[in-house]
Amino acid sequence: MDGSLLRDRELPELSRGEIARYSRHLLLPELGLEGQKRLKAAKVLIVGTGGLGAPLAMYLAAAGVGTIGLVDFDFVEESNLQRQVIHGFRDVGRPKVASARDRLKGINPNIEVVAHNLRLTGANALDVIAGYDLVADGTDNFPTRYLVNDACVLLGKPNVYGSVFQFEGQASVFYAREGPCYRCLYPEPPPPGLVPSCAEGGVMGVLPGIVGTIQANEAIKLLVGSPGYADSSPRTLVGRLLLFDSWKMRFRELALDKDPRCPICGTNPSIRNLVDYERFCGLKQQKETEERVETISAKDLKVWMDSGEPIQIIDIREPHEQAIFKFPRSKYIPLGQMVRRADEFDPAVAAVFVCKIGQRSVFAIRALREAGYRGRLINLKDGANSWAKEVDTNLPTY
């Protein structure tokens, strides 16, 4: 047993050109000719071609992984370019998998790139993942993380995990055959909205590059194992969670144990099929709650403001967001102070709440309702960015 995922596979030969290309790998006794052949024979699926998937895919392509599958259903936006280095300005508006495929083929024309331009769901995940040796999770949401984890456990595949937020990142390898899975670490998802997305909380541009290359490093070690030239197999992040703070430039490590009570990889698993992950993570209930909140479009709000009819506009964005642009005729009240400052509202006058994209404002309205406020509360649909797109186009979106 040498630790490689491909130890029983018939390996392809390397051409003279490939030997020259990968010569720096071949000089490493821990990798060598045998290891490079294993990389050429390998098939890796990358879920997400954003901040994490970009460096991950580019380094695996450069390393000579023979087949790289890309899963994404999104399109390239200008705000992606600060960190998603696989895409360029000319790719704005293109499907991410198409842009990423072109970039990877430009890096290494010898590899095969398979574009899966789709949303990974419980209905298709097993079929998509089954054809690959390893999955690398570059997603940014909890439903897909649990979906990827469960599919990998059911199929016996390793899941190379990474996540980032603001200045902090995490990486691990969840491989139920050898150690814990994602559910062993996080049995339940956080309540919807408790953990902001990068779109709302921001992310340091270089951080996904660091974490994504760590994921690429782990994937290569899993694929190569110990080809026979080295004394021992490489140590992977199976059973270990690597934590990185880019602002303080500090790495930490936590030991992870397999949970015998885990519902999918434990002693008596109760999950034997993929489930509805949006419902499991509470997103369907959240959507139902949001639908019960009265909304107003940016254009209709502008008409209301111009009419002279009384209105309260409450901006709950953070001070550094307001520095980008100030919302007209608004009063600033931070989300965390909303309930204790409820006496500053006039229940006789409708209040419109503004955040960046119209999600945090729903929580502000919910908090006021639960505190007993009886005035009319309205959410600005799609937030301050909709005002910049539909009303005052001189303002930036962010």
- Residues 294 and 379: beta-carbon distance below 8 Å: yes
Locus of tokens 């502008």: 302
d(CA 221, CA 369): 53
Neighbours of 19 (CB within 10 A): 14
Residue 227 CA: distances (Å) to CA of 25, 156, 233: 12, 22, 8
Q: Is 198 a catalytic residue?
A: yes
Q: Is 262 a catalytic residue?
A: no
DSSP symbols for 163-200: EEEBTEEEEEEE-TTTS--HHHH-SSPPPTTSS--HHH
Largest CA distance in the chain: 80
What's 238's DSSP letter? B
* Backbone dihedral angles phi then psi of residue 314, each to the nearest 5 degrees: -115, 115
List 184, 198, 265, 281, catalytic entry:
198
The helix (run of H) or strand (run of E) holding residue 314 is strand 312-315
Those residues whose C-beta lies under 8 Å from the C-beta of residue 380, and which sit 6 or more positions away, are 295, 296, 298, 301, 352, 353, 354, 355, 358, 361, 386, 387
Q: Do the beta carbons of residue 159 and residue 70 sit within 8 Å?
A: no
Out of 152, 262, 281, 355, which one is annotated catalytic? 355
- Please report the beta strands in 166-290, taking only residues with DSSP state E, as ranges in sequence order: 168-174, 240-245, 250-255
Dist CA 172 CA 240 (whole Å): 6
Pairing of strands 295-296, 43-47: unpaired
- Residues marked as catalytic: 198, 355
